[in-house]
Amino acid sequence: MDDPIHWVVTLLSREMLLAEPGKQTVLDRLLDVLVVLGLRAGLTRSETAPPWFRAAADPRLAPALEAVHASAAKPWTVEDLARLCNMSRATFARVSHQALGQAPMQYLADWRMTLARDLLLAQEAPIDEIAAQTGYSTVYAFATAFRRHHGEPPRRWQQRKLAAVAAGSAGDGIHP
């Protein structure tokens, strides 16, 4: 049987029977792996899986998505991403649009905004660092893109979301 979930459950069962040093650490990590494998299996079989998940499983698009997710700050172009996938620019644009339901540069902009939201909610970086980490050359360019995407400036959005979290409601379900 070539089922990774089966093998992790077997390892978990074995580990629970042992009285070895580091047992809890091993159990914690195996449970993390089990959760990820379960989510992956569920999404793989789901007809409502997010488009990015299905696109990431497409070997033609995976190199571009991995690169964008790993290096969102890089000044990507459609040509750059197409080259990573060994496709022409037009073919890459068409295939990625079909898989993601949006143009490649729109996907990149949405991914950058997802990262920006996470960074704003973590409250660990000033706006200029968030701008740089998400591929914007200036705070002004970042704030303009953020406002266009969310309808309000980054700090106002951050304050509203953090107040909602403090009050026990995240507002739009992005974060608890």
Share of the chain above pLDDT 70, in %: 93
Query: 107-166 adopts what CATH topology?
Result: Arc Repressor Mutant, subunit A (1.10.10)
Per residue in 48-90, pLDDT tens?
767 777 777 788 999 999 999 999 999 999 999 999 999 999 9
Per residue in 9-46, pLDDT tens?
888 888 888 888 888 998 899 888 888 887 777 766 77
Sketch the domain layout of the chain as residue ranges: 4-45, 51-102, 107-166
- From residue 52, alpha-carbon distances to 56, 58, 105, 148 in Å are 6, 10, 14, 22
This prediction has a pTM of 0.71
167 pLDDT exceeds 90?
no
175 pLDDT exceeds 50?
no
